[in-house]
Amino acid sequence: MASRNTVAKVLASVQGRCMCPAHSQAFNGARYHRCTSSSSGDHGLKPKEYAVEMSSSSVIYGPGVTREVGHQMLRLRASKELQEPPNIGLFTDGKLVSMEMVRTALDSLESTCGKVHLFSDVRIEPNTESMQAAVDFARDHNLNGYVAVGGGSVIDTAKVANLLSVARDADIFDFVNQPMGKGQEPPPNLHPLIALPTTAGTGSETTGVAVFDYTAMNSKTGIGHKSLRPDLGMIDPHSVATMPSRVTAWSGFDVLCHALESFTAIPYTERPVGPTPSYIRPAYQGSNPISDVWSLHALRMTAKYLRRAVADPGDTEARSEMMLASMMAGVGFGNAGVHLCHGLSYPLASLNKTYQAAEYPTDHPMLPHGLSVIMTAPAVFKYTASACPERHLQAAEILGADISNAKLSDAGDILAEELRKFMHDLGVPNGIREFGFSASDAADLVQAAMPNKRVLMLAPHPLVEEHLASIYENSVTVF
């Protein structure tokens, strides 16, 4: 297998001939030089970003840390100098509510904070209606502290409930990203929120993003702002000991795409600065040398441990490492952002009418987030590779490719092939046709995806609808 130095030598031959915003970056991601050309047409006419801001939730990791949650809530409240008595809500879903982890968290909270209000009606892959139900619950019970025990759906639901319990006169779409919502600034004084993830996938315990289905538009949307980040993520490897094989696989692919997309996103120095003051930076800033460290390490861990975690539920090491990979990828993409795999996945999940994932506790058609994200990945990275081929080759090498004789022009094909191998090994359905979509649906899927420019604009290539349609068309079958 080729070393990083081997690829660096190849790159040396093309340095100075900038072809894209990412091409003048040093191979290890340590330097970010602004290119004379641009991937977005008019970027050269707008001022560019010159700095990157790194922020994340605090994290506690270790087997059994769930039993500390009550004391950690009291500590957070003290740090925020909250005077009113604790009135805590614990959010989870209908499957997890009977699990030991939820019981442990409840016992810990009740012994330290008093009565706890339990909300167990979180919908897996939440929508506008289920989010509103959680908001109503939070407002009705005047909650002033939140604990989320579950996967990304649970944590995202708790984030929105927290936000709208503080902004009591607001509507959820006041804060949803434009153009679907008003994109208003959330209030800064949200209540304490502790997230205890039970899947190794979303990294939501570290991010300020909450995603849900906008039912009226048959598309996903969300709220993205640093103030939504949990104050604390408590990662307990015991929580994934009983995670089903398919849940492990699909959530693991979310980690994989978080890492790949954040590493290949447009460089932060190529992101145009908006009308807000330059020191107010968005949650998603583009690839940067700090996020790269987290994203690449998460990718290495996923390449090493995901297959093992799926194959053997008793492989404690693999499942524990995937929880860490999920968190690390969350720190990476929570500051850099994701792009096409995520942006193009939202219509697939929202427009799915028949596919019901095995081993998920739902009574309705549901396409798991990680599965919808990975389905277009081979086509996406084949498309984006020409923008920053060295990064695509580096990712392919981490996933197992021999790039010793690789050409930069082959980067997309090489990475796509490694992704297909990974997908095949873990039993991914053969393309979006398995969810009821065909090539004739491509144009409609693109139109449903376009409102999600918050993430699509982070792709290293400009948004061309025909190109996005071809990604869907090339994802009808994968193998």
Domain ranges (residues) in the chain: 4-54+244-473, 64-235
What pLDDT, on a 0 to 100 scale, did the predictor assign at position 11? Answer: 35
Distances from the Cα of 386 to the Cαs of 380, 381, 404, 413, in angstroms?
Answer: 11, 9, 19, 11
Tell me what pLDDT residue 8 has.
39
Q: How far apart are CA 99 and CA 294, in angstroms?
A: 31
For the chain, 479 residues long, the average pLDDT of each consecutive 10-residue run is: 40 34 34 37 68 95 97 96 94 95 98 97 95 98 98 97 97 90 91 97 95 84 92 96 94 98 97 79 94 98 98 96 98 97 95 92 88 98 98 98 97 98 98 97 95 91 95 98
Domain 64-235 in the same topology as domain 4-54+244-473: no
Per CATH, the homologous superfamily of domain 4-54+244-473 is Dehydroquinate synthase-like - alpha domain (1.20.1090.10)
**Pick from 149, 171, 143: which is nearest to 86 by CA?**
143
pLDDT of residue 19: 33
- Tell which residue, 77, 255, 232, 222, has the closest CA to residue 156: 222
Contact call for residues 365 and 352 (beta carbons, < 8 A): yes
Count of beta carbons in the 10 Å neighbourhood of residue 315: 16
Q: What is the pTM of this model?
A: 0.89
Instruction: Report, at the CATH architecture level, how domain 64-235 is classified.
Output: 3-Layer(aba) Sandwich (3.40)
Residue-level pLDDT at 70: 98
